[in-house]
Amino acid sequence: MQGGARAGAGRKRGTPNKASGEVRTLAAEYGPAGLRKLAKLAGLTKDDEGNEVAGAQSEAAQISAIAILMDRAYGKALPGRLIEIELPDTSTTEGVKNAVAAVVRATAEGQITTGEASDLCGVLDVQRRAIELSDIEGRLAKLEAIQQGRVAA
């Protein structure tokens, strides 16, 4: 009997293992009932007469159930929010510096959170590094051209 990795050995790529198939089968079987139970815990269901059914006693449990239902229906929410602040042109390092100042000002004025400011400054730092790299490449190309001119002369 041979062990180890060798060509053609093992399960074909993308083939689920036996346990995964069993879990999917159970999820398909119990999924609808599970969603109904979540809706009941969230306090979103009605009885046969149309009266609202009380959800879980704990508000935290109700909120958790609602969050799970929302994630299932609409997908998990992306972190963050759309931030609208006026930024200067960021095509130069001076512009990036001014944009960082604008972010700091917006944070101080309460327009954005410190976490959002940190995220924005991270994006601005990437922009600054890209500008600097482009400048360095241009300078290097000029130096190489000058060096080749001296060698050729």
Q: Please check whether residue 12 lies inside any domain of the structure.
A: no
- Enter the pTM of the model: 0.47
Asked which of 74, 105, 121 is the last residue of a domain, the reply is 74
State how far the Cα of 121 lies from the Cα of 75, in Å rounded to an integer: 28
Q: Are 112 and 119 in contact (CB under 8 A)?
A: no
Of 74, 71, 72, 103, which is closest to residue 90 (Cα–Cα)?
103
Give the model confidence (pLDDT) of 10-26 as tens digits.
767 766 677 777 877 87
Q: Please check whether residue 99 lies inside any domain of the structure.
A: yes
- Total number of domains constituting the chain: 2
Structural domain for 31, as ranges = 18-74
Give the model confidence (pLDDT) of 53-83 as tens digits.
888 888 888 888 888 887 777 776 566 678 8
